[in-house]
Structure 1
Amino acid sequence: MSLPTSTRQYVFPQTKETAVSAPKANEVLVKTRAVSLQFRDLMIASGRYRGTFPPNLVPCSDMAGEVIAVGEDVKEWKVGDRVCASFHQDRMHNDSPNEQALGGAVHGVLTEYRTFPAQALIAMPDHLSYEEASTLPCAALTAYNALLSGYAPLKAGDTVLAQGTGGTSIFALQFAVASGATVIATSSSDEKLKIATKLGATHVINYKTTPNWAAEVLKLTNGVGVDHVVEVGGNATFSQSITAVKQRGSINIIGFLGGVGDVPSPDLIFPCISKQIIIRGISVGSVVQFKNMNKLISANIQATRPVIDKVFGFDEAKAAYAYLKSQAHVGKVVIKI
């Protein structure tokens, strides 16, 4: 087949057409089929995300697509393979650098075609659609890294607190259930909590009607607390997370939905020492972790199937951003290309 010579892509704040080059020796040219959105994408678009970005940034980090050409030295991929791109293009292993993040430090994936280094691609699980697989590179892998990697990996019988019902929190709920753990889920919406219950949460807490939700977590765990907290609120929720976690439990920090800078920092030192808490910052994950996560997903097809709230067309990208910003969604918002 003849290769495309141009691609439509978004650069803030509009689309443009640019040339497509054949892949270099160690590259793969991929036709983007679906892109999923992150809270990070909103922050970058509004200028509230820290970092240095290339001019005319192509946004978004998470995609799934089809290989349409491979460089002459590429052996592991062939035309027609279904793939996802790693969020960190240079992070092959857990201790590799993570400086080349898509949609931030380097141009992202909200484009019809894009080349990638061959080693930065991961095969999609066979049972997933492109839309479903596009949700894996950031949200799913962050949840997997938080719970199933690190110093105290999740094990059957543990209790997990999943804050909210956004993409990463929903994946954390699903991976915890698939691993035999008990999940306590929080949300500001009873309707969203009904979905969390259907996905396997044992207990749910509406933090609007129960603002002191940490006390409720302790009550549900007979005063012990949870083994793992998936912390997405940042400073706004961290004090309650410290209260809710058990002695020698872990708090995995993955987000700051409650705000940055305008929210006072909680008192950390004495509580963390007295409870011997493990606090771990999570920056997505590596290619190796992505492959291991896909094994878990493929072995637990029903429990781990991605939850997609709404799918938008490529020309509706701005509407997709607006819908994500509204926080009306449960799970992921996807753009189909």
Structure 2
Amino acid sequence: MKAYEISKFGIDNLTKTEIPEPKAGKGEVLIKIKAVSLNYRDLMVVSGTYNPRMKLPAIPFSDAAGEIVEIGEGVKKWKVGDRVMPIFVQRWYDGRLNDEIRRTALGAGSDWNGVLREYAAFSEESIVRSPEYLSFEAAATLPCAALTAWNALVESGKLRAGETVLTLGSGGVSTFAIRIAKMLGARVIATTGTGEKAERLRLLGADEVINYRENPDWDELVLKLTGKRGVDHVVEVGGAGTLPRSARSVTVGGHIALIGALSGGEGLNPVGVFMKAARLQGIFVGSRRMLEDMNRAFEFHRIQPVIDRVFSFDEAKEALQYLESGKHFGKIVIRVD
């Protein structure tokens, strides 16, 4: 079967190769992968910044959707033809995350090879059913980006109708956060760097949009828009470069979901956080139970992921380069033909 491997770091070193097709072992199912979606983590993995000591060679990428084509001995929950998605952290079914479980995340080393391949075998406990109304391409965007936004706002944030959410940028997590926040009756303030993306964020549901290039002190504008109160939740994907302004934007007793590290910077003075009694919570995607809960909500509300471009399997390098450019709006997907 066809697969992509990293034998040394760098997008140009991502190599398409032929490897043996796996079989479904005891308690496993074999999935024909139909689509794969990209996350910023995948770019970090391929470039070597995620873990410079990662075991190589390895198959990258964590998010996929496909169809079961073979059932292993003892499997009771699934049948051939079921449309499914592997979960991001393969052994996080429910409850509290620990270090042992965290290490079972897909796509960051040869111990838990990723999904940029035609077939993959998974434990029957480590997959969930894809929402029936979504295409394979759309379903492939859910296990990491959508679930991260869901965890940030619903599980960790306990978001309530009428609260205000601040999102940063227009990548996968941020666009899903807008969808989820509006689904739950929240007000959304979004930031972006271009007028074109600002208009698209408004069409997506953002109530107010701040162009951070025109307003570099965007936290001051957030406070103005909220009557100096601040927002209840920040979906913080920027990291050190944006975290100080996010902390100034949050209200007393508010919640900052710390997700990404897209921008460099000097870091955060913690005084502003504890003086506001704000909660800074790291988000590491989510569990199987969270994904199943989210999928039920998405099915009821018919939530549609925002997909910017779909690349062919042969264009995996180009897809990563497009992600690296930062020009995308929403998700980037690779169709596995």
TM-score between both structures, scaled by the size of structure 1 = 0.94
Rounded to whole Å, the distance in 2 between the matches of 1:37 and 1:331 is 10
Gaps of 5+ in 1: 1-6
Instruction: Please tell me the residue identity of whatever aligns with 2:266.
Output: P
- Report the count of equivalent residues: 324
Paired residue secondary structure (2:48): coil
Rounded to whole Å, the distance in 2 between the matches of 1:101 and 1:171 is 21
Paired residue secondary structure (1:77): coil
> Residue 177 of structure 1 is aligned with which of 182, 199, 207?
182
Task: Give the equivalent residue in structure 2 for 1:318.
Answer: 317
Rounded to whole Å, the distance in 2 between the matches of 1:21 and 1:109 is 13
Task: Give the equivalent residue in structure 1 for 2:254.
Answer: 249
Task: Give the equivalent residue in structure 2 for 1:327.
Answer: 326
Deviation at 1:120, TM superposition (A): 0.5
Check conservation: 1:52, 1:104, Cα contact below 8 A.
Answer: no
Instruction: Please tell me the residue identity of whatever aligns with 1:90.
Output: R
Instruction: Please tell me the residue identity of whatever aligns with 1:10.
Output: Y
* Aligned positions of 1:65-104 closer than 5 A: 65-96=66-97, 97-104=101-108
Instruction: Please tell me the residue identity of whatever aligns with 1:312.
Output: F
Rounded to whole Å, the distance in 2 between the matches of 1:323 and 1:134 is 18
Rounded to whole Å, the distance in 2 between the matches of 1:157 and 1:281 is 24
Deviation at 1:201, TM superposition (A): 0.6
* Aligned positions of 1:77-156 closer than 5 A: 77-96=78-97, 97-105=101-109, 106-150=112-156, 152-156=157-161
Deviation at 1:46, TM superposition (A): 1.1
Paired residue secondary structure (1:195): helix
CA deviation map 1:44-97 (0-9, x unaligned)? 111111365332110100000000011121111100000011010111113142
* Aligned positions of 1:44-59 closer than 5 A: 44-50=45-51, 52-59=53-60
Task: Give the equivalent residue in structure 1 for 2:268.
Answer: 266
Rounded to whole Å, the distance in 2 between the matches of 1:179 and 1:219 is 24
Task: Give the equivalent residue in structure 1 for 2:335.
Answer: 336
TM-score between both structures, scaled by the size of structure 2 = 0.94
CA deviation map 1:302-322 (0-9, x unaligned)? xx2100000000001111111
Task: Give the equivalent residue in structure 1 for 2:11.
Answer: none
Paired residue secondary structure (1:219): helix
Check conservation: 1:51, 1:104, Cα contact below 8 A.
Answer: no
Gaps of 5+ in 2: 7-13
* Aligned positions of 1:147-226 closer than 5 A: 147-150=153-156, 152-226=157-231
Rounded to whole Å, the distance in 2 between the matches of 1:94 and 1:287 is 10
Deviation at 1:21, TM superposition (A): 3.0
Check conservation: 2:149, 2:173, Cα contact below 8 A.
Answer: yes
Paired residue secondary structure (2:116): coil
Paired residue secondary structure (1:19): coil
Rounded to whole Å, the distance in 2 between the matches of 1:52 and 1:117 is 27
Task: Give the equivalent residue in structure 2 for 1:61.
Answer: 62
Check conservation: 1:94, 1:285, Cα contact below 8 A.
Answer: no
Identity rate of aligned residues, in percent? 44
The runs of 4+ residues in structure 1 deviating greater than 6 Å are none
Task: Give the equivalent residue in structure 2 for 1:8.
Answer: 2
Paired residue secondary structure (1:142): helix
Rounded to whole Å, the distance in 2 between the matches of 1:129 and 1:154 is 28
Instruction: Please tell me the residue identity of whatever aligns with 1:177.
Output: K
Paired residue secondary structure (2:308): strand
